[in-house]
Amino acid sequence: MKRVEWSQRALQDAASGADWYTTEGGMALGERFLEQVQITLMWIGQFPAMGSTRHANCMIGLSAPLRFFPVKAFERYLIYYLDLPTHVEVLRIWSSARGLSALMEEDT
């Protein structure tokens, strides 16, 4: 199993998502979102190649192909990461409702 490292932006994204779910559905829902993010990241750490590379060409200059995988039970949220030789680097935890173009604009 590979070690999973979070970028600062991914931490902010997860907190923002949890805040949104807490506001919309209560504390339990916000906590459940964070738990599912952790569970999904455990799967990604074990099987990093399972994520799609469909958006790999959207960000140039990365040290590995950009991959994404949906958060279990919260499939609107996608975990964007790099499968590196020694670890998995989580770049973003992004709500697909915001659109891919918005993600790319924020990251430029």
- How do residues 73-95 score in pLDDT, each as one tens digit? 999 999 999 999 999 999 999 99
Task: Please report the pLDDT score of residue 105 as a whole number.
Answer: 66
Q: Which residues contact 53 (CB under 8 A, 6 or more apart)?
A: 65, 66, 67
- How do residues 6-57 score in pLDDT, each as one tens digit? 999 999 999 999 999 999 999 999 999 999 999 999 999 999 999 999 988 7
CA-wise closest residue to 40 among 84, 98, 96, 90: 90
Helix/strand/coil (H/E/C) assignment for every residue in 20-84: HHHHHHCHHHHHHHHHHHHHHHHHHHHCHHHCECCCHHHCCCCCCCEEEEEECCEEEEEEEEEEC
User: Domains along the chain?
Assistant: 3-107 (3.30.2310.20)
